[in-house]
A and B are shown apart, each in its own frame.
Chain A
Amino acid sequence: MNRAPWIVAALVVLGAGGLAYVALRPDATRGPVPTREQIQALVSERDSLRDELNALLADHVGLDVARAQPANILVGVPTSFAGDLVHQMVTGLFSEVRVHLTGIETSAEGTVTVPIAGNLGRYSVFVEVKEVRAVLRPGQPELQFGGDRIGVRLPVTLTQGEGTAAIDVRWQSRGLASVCGDLDFSTVISSGVQPATHNVAGELQLAVVDETLVASAALAPMATRVVLQPTEQTWRALDAALEEIRRDLSTMCVAAINRLNTRGIVEGLIDRGFPVNVPAQVIEHVTVPARVETSVALPDRNVTLEARPMNVSITGDMLWYGVTLGAAAEAAPTTPSR
C-alpha cells in the first residue's frame, strides 16, 4: 500500500490545526490586537490627562513655567541652592586662611629718672616676632538676596595662634647709676595669640559669564592685628632671667634696674599688635556648577550652536540664565571626540 498520501493528509490536518490554533489562541504575550475604538479611547484619555496635568501645574508654585524667560536653553537655580553654594564656598575658603608673621620688629626707648637723683639710665626694648602662625575660623555667614546681588556678612575669628618672639633689652646707665655700666639682655618667649573676631562684609554681584551664572565678590579687605598673648609661665621665665642678672649687681644697681618695668614695656609693645590685612581676593567669584554650553559633541565632530546669552533674571525664588539659538546649528571643523 502506498502510504504517502496518508502521511500528506495527516500533515495537512496537523498544519490546519496548527494554523487554527495560532489564529484563534488567546495570545498570552501580546494580547489581542487593540481595535481602532480602543486606540481612540486611549487618545481621549491621554488628552484628558494632559488637560488635568496642565491645570494642576498652573497652580504649582514650584515650576515657574509662565514666568521663565523665552530662551531655547534655560537653567534655573533656586536661590536656596545659590545661598547654600555661597555659604559653603565662603566658609570653606575662609577655613583655609592662614596667617603667618615672621621677622616683624617693634621697639620702645626711654629713660628712667627718679626724683633728686635724676636720670639713671636709658633703655631700648626690641621685640622681634620670629614666627607666629594663626588661622581664621569662619562663623555662620548671613546672606541677603536682593535683586541680582547677594549681601554677605561673615564673622571670622583669628584663632589657634602660636609662635615665638625675641626680646632684647639694652640698658645704658647714666648719672648716679653710671657705675653699673651697660647691660644687654636677650631672651626668646613663646606665645599664643589673642583670639579676635572681625566681620567680613560685602556683596556678590550675579551675572552671566561664559554661559554660566557667576557671583563676583566685592568684599572689603579685612584689617586685623595679631596680638601676642604670652602665658604667665612665659612671664615668670622672663622674670627669672632678669633676676639672674640682678644677682651679680650691687644693691644700688639693682635699685636702678628695678625702676625699669621690663614686663610692662614688652606688654605695651605687643598689646599694639601686628597688622595683618586679609585681602578681599580670598573670594573672587563663586560659579554655579550648571553651565549652558554653546557646542554639542557628536560621535564624529563637535557642533557649535549659534547661541546668544541672555542676562540673568530673577522670578520668585529662581535665578534664570540661558541662551537663545540662531536659526540653525553650524557644524564646526572635525575635532577628536571628547
Chain B
Amino acid sequence: MSRASCLVLACALVAPALACREDPAARRQRAEAQVLDRQNRNLRELIAATREQRLLSPEWIVAAVDEAAVEAILGASLPQQAVIGRFRVLVESADVSFQGGTSLVALQAQVSDERSPDRRASVLFQGGLDDITISPDGHLETRVLVDYVEVPEIQAARVDAGFLGAVVNELAGRSLDAVQRLVPPISIPVRFERNLAFDGRSEGRVQVDAGDLPVVASVARVLPLSGRLWIFVDATVGPWQARPAQASTTTASAQGGAR
C-alpha cells in the first residue's frame, strides 16, 4: 500500500472519532443550559411548594449559614492540587452565592501543562452544592458539585488558544469528577445531637434514675436565599427512655443536667 493510501486510510478511521469530540464552546453551552434548566426546575418546585403552603413547616429547626461563612470554610481547605490527565490543577479559592433559590460555587484555579509547565492558564470551575445531609455524628455535610469549566482567557482572546482549548477539552469531560474530588466535603458547623442523656442523681431520700431522650433529625428542605443557605431540619425528640437500673447506680453522682 502506498504512503498516500495509508494516509487516506488513517483519515478515514479517525474522522468519525474527531466528529464525536464536541468543540469546547458547544460543550460549555450545553453544560450551562443544563445547569440553568436544573436551577429553573428547582425554582419552579420552590414556587409551587410555597403556593401550596408546603414549603416550610413551622415545626422545623433552621440552620442558616451565609456566603462568607461557607467561603471561610471552603477557603480553609484550599489550596488543593492534583494532576488530572496532562494538567496540574491548583484550586486556589472559592466564591459562593446563595440567592434566589440557587446555590452557586465558583472555584478559581490555575492549570499548568505537565509536559510544559510554562504553559498555564486561570480557569473557573462553576458549580453548586450537593444535597445536604446529617452525618452519623450529627454534622451538616455537603460537597461541591462542578458543572462546567470556564477559561476567561479564551474570552479575552489571549494567545495559546490551542493550549486553552486542550484545557477545556480535558477538564470539561469526565475530569470534572476529579476536580470535584479535589475539594474536601464541606462540614457546616452546626451539629445535631442524636441523644440527650441524663446521668441520674441521688440526693437525700430522692433518687432520679438515668435516662435518655433520643433525637431524630433529618434535612427537610434547603433554601439558598438572601445570601444565606437556609437548612430546614425536621427534628423530633423522645419518647423518654429509662436507662437500666445498674447504669443509674454507677452514675448517680454525675451532673444533674441533661446536655
Contacts and interface: CB of A to CB of B under 8 A. Distances in A.
A in complex with B? yes
Interface of A: 4-5, 8, 11-12, 14-16, 18-19, 21-23, 30-31, 33-36, 38-39, 42-43, 45-47, 49-54, 56-57, 60-63, 65, 68, 71-78, 80-81, 84-85, 88-89, 91-93, 95-101, 276-279, 281-287, 289-299, 303, 305, 317-318, 322, 325, 328-329, 331, 338
B204 A277 contact: yes
Nearest to A12: B12
Contact of B32 (A39, A277, A291): A39
Interface of A (DSSP majority class): mixed
B237 interface: yes
Interface string B202-240: 011111111101010100000101101010010101111
A308 to B, nearest CB: 13
Given A14-B12, A50-B102, A290-B233, A329 B50 contact: no
A93 B100 contact: no
Given A15-B16, A73-B190, A77-B61, A65 B240 contact: no
22 contacts: A4-B5, A8-B5, A15-B12, A33-B22, A33-B29, A34-B33, A49-B44, A49-B47, A75-B61, A80-B58, A85-B237, A88-B238, A89-B196, A92-B238, A93-B208, A100-B205, A284-B258, A289-B237, A296-B189, A298-B76, A325-B72, A338-B137
A61 to B, nearest CB: 8
A18 B191 contact: no
A252 to B, nearest CB: 46
B64 A74 contact: yes
Name, among A12, A36, A331, the residue most crowded by chain B CB atoms within 10 Å (CB to CB).
Answer: A12
Given A53-B46, A74-B228, A287-B257, 8 more contacts: A12-B8, A15-B11, A23-B19, A56-B47, A74-B63, A99-B206, A286-B258, A297-B139
Contacts of A14: 12
Contacts of A299: 184
Max chain B Cβ within 10 angstroms of own Cβ: one of A21, A77, A291: A291
A73 B16 contact: no
A16 B16 CA distance: 8
A133 B62 CA distance: 45
B157 interface: no
Interface residues of B, number: 96
Contacts of B115: none
B9 A11 contact: yes
Interface of B: 1-2, 5, 8-9, 11-13, 15-16, 19-20, 22, 26, 29-30, 32-33, 36-37, 39-40, 43-44, 46-47, 50-51, 55-66, 68-69, 72-73, 75-77, 99-102, 137, 139, 184, 187-194, 196, 198, 200-201, 203-211, 213, 215, 217, 223, 225-226, 228, 230, 233, 235, 237-240, 242, 248, 255-259
Contact of A80 (B59, B66, B137): B59
A10 to B, nearest CB: 9
Nearest to B259: A287
Given A46-B36, A96-B208, A98-B207, A284 B196 contact: no
A112 B131 CA distance: 87
A68 B62 CA distance: 11
Contacts of B200: 96
Contacts of B69: 72-73, 325
Nearest to A328: B72
Contacts of A100: 205-207
Given A50-B100, A63-B223, A298-B76, A276 B33 contact: no
